C-alpha cells in the first residue's frame, strides 16, 4: 500500500504541492495527470522521498523519508523521465545493475527476461549510449523491471514508479509499455505512472489522479476524472470528450476554428 | 585480464630490480632469493636501494590509478584525473605546508605522526581540493565538465601560488627538502618513506573495491543510484576520502606525477568495459606496472642522470588526454 497524507512541498517560495492525500493499493495502476507545471514530477519526487516535503509518504507501511535506500530499492523501482549513463556501460550491465539492487541478484536470467519484455532481447552487448531515445527509455524500463521482477514477494507487494514511461515512444511501443505496466498491476504489484497522454491513461489505468497547481483536483476512475470542464480549465483549450464502448472515455483537443 | 596484469607486474618488477648502474643481474636476484646470499655491497643495492624504490613505485602507481578511477566515477566523467582537476596541486600545497611550517606544530604532534606528517598533510590538502571541486562542478544530477576542468586550473594556480609564497618563507634545509620533493621522482626511496605513506595508500586501496557497485550505479546519476539502493552520501564521502588519501600519499612521497590516473582507467575501459568491479583492482595493477616501467625508463634513458618521472608520464599521458578531448568533440559534446 502506498499512502500519502497531506503531502506539501515548496521550491524556493513557491508551493508546488499542497496537501495531497491519496492511497494506492497493490494491484492497482494509478496514472498521475495534469498540465505542465501542475506538480506531477514533484509529487513523484515526494513519493520517492527525494524531496523535503511535509506530510507523510508511506510505502508498504514504511515512511520513505526515513527508510534506507537499500530497503526501498527492494520494494520499488523507478523509471526516470530521462537518464544519462556515464562511461561505456552496456545495456546488459545497466539491466544487471537494476537486478542486483533488488531481490534478484542471484537470478541473472532475469536480465534476459526483462529485456525480452521490452522488446530489446539480444541487445545486451550494445553500449547504452548508442541506442535511440526510445530504445534507451525501454532499456531503462527493463532495468527497473529487473529490480522488482516479481510483482509480489512473499511478504509484500512490489512497486513500479514510472515518470512519463511512454514520452519518447512510438504508438506501438507506447501500447507495449502500458500493457507491461497493466500486467504488473494485474499480477499484484503496484504501479504509479506520471502520464501526459490522457487517452492512454484512461485506457490502462484503474484510477487517475489529476493535479491542478499542486493540488489534487480530482481522483477516481477514468470516467470520473475525465470531465470536460475540469480538463478544459486545466489545459486552457476546448476539448471534445467521447466514450468508446470498450476502452472508456477518450478525448480530442479542438483546433482553434 | 587480472592474471595477465599480475604477470606483467611481476615481469616489470624483475626488470626493474635487475637493471641499474651496479650491474646486478637476474642471476644475482636468484642468488639473493634462493642462494647463499650476496656480497654486502650487492645486498645494500638490492635491499636498500632497488627494492624500496620498486615498492614505492608500485604503491604510487596503484594509488594514482585507483584515485583516477574514483574521481572519474565520482564526477561521472572519464576526464577526471588527480593531476588535471587540481587534487594533486592541493595535495602538493599540503605537503609544502607540512615541510615549511611543520616545525611550528607542538612537539607532541610531531612526535606522534613522525614521518607521516607530510603524507597526512598532503592527504588533507587533496581532500579539501576535492571537496571544493565537487561543490563547484557538480549539481545533483550532472557534472559540468567545463566547470570541473576550469576549477581544476584555478585550484592548481592557487596551490601553486601559495606554494611559491611558502618557498620564500623556507629556510635552507627546508628549501632543499622542497626542491627534492618537487622534482617528482622515486629517487629518494627508502623503507621509511614507504612506511610513512603506506597506511594512507593501503586505506584507500582497501576501501576502493568496496565502492565499485555504488560507483556503477552512480553512473546513472545520483537520484537513480539512490533508487537502486546506494547510500549516495556515504559513497561520495568515501570516494572523496579515498581518492584524496591515495593522491595525497602518492604526491607526498613522489611529487607530482600526472596522467597515470587518466591513462590507466581509459585503457582498461577500452579493453573490457566500464564495470568498476574489475576496473578498480586492475587499475591498481596496471598503474603499478606503468609506474615501475616509467621509473625504469626515467633512470636508464639519460643514465647516469635521471629524467624526472613526471616528465615521462606527461609525455605519454598528455597526448592521450588531448585525444580523449578530440573524441568528445567528435561525439558532439
505542465: which residue's cell? A36
pLDDT tens per residue across span B156-212: 898 889 888 888 888 888 887 787 776 667 877 888 888 888 999 999 999 999 999
Which pLDDT does position A14 carry in this prediction?
A: 85
Based on its alpha-carbon atoms, the radius of gyration of chain B, rounded to whole angstroms, reads 20
Interface-testing mutation among B223, B229, B269, B271, with chain A (most A C-beta atoms within 10 A): B229
Cα A76 from Cα A69, distance rounded (Å): 10
The per-residue pLDDT for B108 is 75
Interface of A with B in 99-138 (CB under 8 A): 100-101
Q: How confident is the model at residue B330 (pLDDT cuts 50, 70, 90)?
A: low
Q: Which domain holds residue B205?
A: 2-331
Nearest residue on chain A to B271, alpha-carbon basis: A88
pTM of the predicted protein model:
0.90
- C-alpha count within 13 angstroms, C-beta hemisphere, residue A27: 3
Domain boundaries, chain A: 2-253
The 10s digit of each residue's pLDDT in A129-152 is 999 999 999 999 999 999 999 999
For A87, the closest chain B residue by CA position comes to B274
Q: How far apart are CA B218 and CA B232, in angstroms?
A: 8
Closest CA relative to residue B50, chosen from B247, B296, B283, B242: B296
C-alpha cell at position B272? 573490457
Cβ of residue A74 closer than 8 Å to a chain B Cβ = yes
In this complex, is the C-beta atom of B278 within 8 Å of any C-beta atom belonging to chain A?
A: no
Residues A96-118 have pLDDT tens digits of 999 999 999 999 999 999 999 99
Beta-carbon contacts of A220 under 8 Å, excluding residues fewer than 6 positions away, are A207, A208
* CA distance, residue A206 to nearest chain B CA (Å): 25
CATH code matching the domain that covers A2-253, chosen among 3.40.50.300, 3.40.190.10, 3.30.565.10, 3.40.50.150: 3.40.50.300
Mean pLDDT of chain B: 86
Closest residue to B228, CB basis, from A84, A86, A97: A97
pLDDT tens figures, A209-255: 999 999 999 999 999 999 999 999 999 888 888 887 777 788 888 76
Residue B227 phi, psi (nearest 5)? -65, -25
Q: What is the pLDDT of residue B229?
A: 94
CATH code at position B94: 1.10.3470.10
Residue B107 pLDDT greater than 80, yes or no: no
Burial A49-85 (b: 16+ CB within 10 A, else e): bbbebebebbbbebebeebebeebbbbbbbbbeebeb
Nearest CA to B251 out of B78, B71, B98 is that of B98
Q: Report how far residue B159's alpha carbon sits from residue B135's, in angstroms, rounded to the nearest whole number.
A: 18
pLDDT of A173 higher than 90: yes
In chain B, residues 229-268 whose CB comes closer than 8 Å to chain A? 229-232
Residue-wise pLDDT for B201-221, tens only, equals: 999 999 999 999 999 999 999
| Number of domains, chain B | 1
Q: Which 217-256 residues of chain A touch chain B by CB within 8 A?
A: none
In eight-state DSSP terms, residue A127 is B
Contact residues, chain A, for B224 at CB < 8 Å? 78, 80, 83
Q: What is the pLDDT of residues B269-306, one digit of tens each?
A: 999 899 999 999 999 999 999 999 999 998 888 877 88
Per the prediction, chain A carries an average pLDDT of 92
Q: Nearest CA to CA, how far is B147 from chain A (Å)?
A: 17
Q: Which of B264, B30, B251 is nearest to B127 (CA)?
A: B251
Interface contact A97-B269, CB threshold 8 A: no
pLDDT digits (tens, 9 = 90+) for A8-30: 998 888 889 999 999 999 999 99
Amino acid at each position: 500500500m502506498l499512502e500519502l497524507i497531506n503531502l506539501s512541498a515548496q521550491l524556493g517560495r513557491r508551493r508546488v504541492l499542497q496537501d495531497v492525500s491519496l492511497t494506492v493499493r497493490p494491484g492497482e495502476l494509478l496514472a498521475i495527470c495534469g498540465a505542465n507545471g501542475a506538480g506531477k514530477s514533484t509529487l513523484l519526487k515526494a513519493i520517492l522521498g527525494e524531496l523535503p516535503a511535509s506530510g507523510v509518504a508511506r510505502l508498504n507501511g514504511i515512511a520513505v523519508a526515513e527508510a534506507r535506500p537499500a530497503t526501498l530499492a527492494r520494494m520499488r523501482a523507478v523509471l526516470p523521465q530521462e537518464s544519462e549513463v556515464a562511461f561505456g556501460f552496456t545495456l546488459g550491465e545497466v539491466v544487471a545493475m537494476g537486478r542486483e539492487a533488488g531481490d534478484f541478484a542471484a537470478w541473472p536470467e532475469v536480465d534476459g527476461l526483462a529485456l525480452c519484455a521490452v522488446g530489446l532481447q539480444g541487445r545486451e552487448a550494445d553500449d547504452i549510449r548508442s541506442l535511440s531515445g526510445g530504445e534507451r527509455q525501454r532499456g531503462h524500463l527493463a532495468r527497473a523491471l529487473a529490480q522488482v521482477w516479481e510483482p509480489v514477494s512473499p511478504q509484500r507487494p512490489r512497486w513500479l514508479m514510472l515518470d512519463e514511461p511512454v514520452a519518447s515512444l512510438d504508438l506501438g511501443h507506447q501500447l507495449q509499455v502500458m500493457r507491461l505496466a497493466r500486467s504488473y498491476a494485474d499480477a499484484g504489484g503496484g504501479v504509479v505512472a506520471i502520464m501526459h497522454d490522457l487517452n492512454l491513461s484512461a485506457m490502462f489505468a484503474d484510477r487517475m489522479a489529476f493535479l491542478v497547481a499542486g493540488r489534487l483536483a480530482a481522483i477516481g476512475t477514468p470516467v470520473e476524472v475525465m470531465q470536460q470542464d475540469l480538463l478544459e480549465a486545466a489545459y486552457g483549450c476546448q476539448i471534445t470528450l467521447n466514450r468508446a464502448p470498450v476502452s472508456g472515455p477518450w478525448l480530442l483537443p479542438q483546433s482553434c476554428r | 585480464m587480472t592474471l595477465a596484469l599480475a604477470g606483467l607486474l611481476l615481469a616489470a618488477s624483475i626488470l626493474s630490480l635487475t637493471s641499474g648502474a651496479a650491474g646486478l643481474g637476474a642471476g644475482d636476484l636468484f642468488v639473493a632469493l634462493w642462494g647463499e646470499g650476496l656480497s654486502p655491497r650487492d645486498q645494500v643495492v638490492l635491499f636498500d636501494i632497488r627494492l624500496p624504490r620498486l615498492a614505492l613505485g608500485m604503491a604510487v602507481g596503484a594509488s594514482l590509478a585507483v584515485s583516477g578511477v574514483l574521481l572519474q566515477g565520482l564526477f561521472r566523467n572519464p576526464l577526471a584525473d588527480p593531476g588535471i582537476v587540481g587534487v594533486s596541486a592541493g595535495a602538493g600545497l599540503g605537503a609544502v605546508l607540512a615541510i615549511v611550517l611543520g616545525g611550528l606544530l607542538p612537539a607532541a604532534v610531531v612526535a606522534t605522526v613522525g614521518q607521516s606528517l607530510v603524507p597526512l598533510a598532503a592527504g588533507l590538502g587533496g581532500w579539501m581540493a576535492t571537496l571544493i571541486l565537487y561543490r563547484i562542478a557538480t549539481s545533483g544530477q550532472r557534472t559540468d565538465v567545463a566547470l570541473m576542468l576550469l576549477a581544476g586550473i584555478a585550484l592548481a594556480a592557487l596551490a601553486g601560488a601559495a606554494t611559491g609564497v611558502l618557498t620564500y618563507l623556507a629556510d635552507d634545509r627546508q628549501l632543499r627538502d622542497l626542491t627534492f620533493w618537487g622534482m617528482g621522482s622515486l629517487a629518494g626511496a627508502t623503507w621509511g618513506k614507504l612506511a610513512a605513506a603506506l597506511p594512507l595508500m593501503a586505506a584507500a586501496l582497501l576501501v576502493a573495491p568496496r565502492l565499485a557497485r555504488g560507483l556503477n550505479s552512480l553512473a546513472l546519476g545520483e537520484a537513480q543510484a539512490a533508487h537502486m539502493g546506494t547510500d549516495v552520501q556515504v559513497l561520495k564521502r568515501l570516494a572523496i576520502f579515498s581518492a584524496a588519501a591515495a593522491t595525497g600519499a602518492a604526491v607526498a612521497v613522489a611529487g607530482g606525477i600526472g596522467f597515470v590516473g587518466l591513462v590507466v582507467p581509459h585503457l582498461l575501459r577500452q579493453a573490457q568495459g566500464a564495470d568498476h568491479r574489475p576496473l578498480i583492482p586492475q587499475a591498481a595493477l596496471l598503474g603499478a606496472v606503468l609506474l615501475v616501467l616509467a621509473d625504469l625508463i626515467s633512470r636508464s634513458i639519460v643514465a647516469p642522470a635521471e629524467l624526472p618521472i613526471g616528465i615521462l608520464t606527461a609525455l605519454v599521458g598528455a597526448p592521450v588526454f588531448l585525444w580523449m578531448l578530440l573524441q568528445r568533440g567528435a561525439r558532439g559534446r
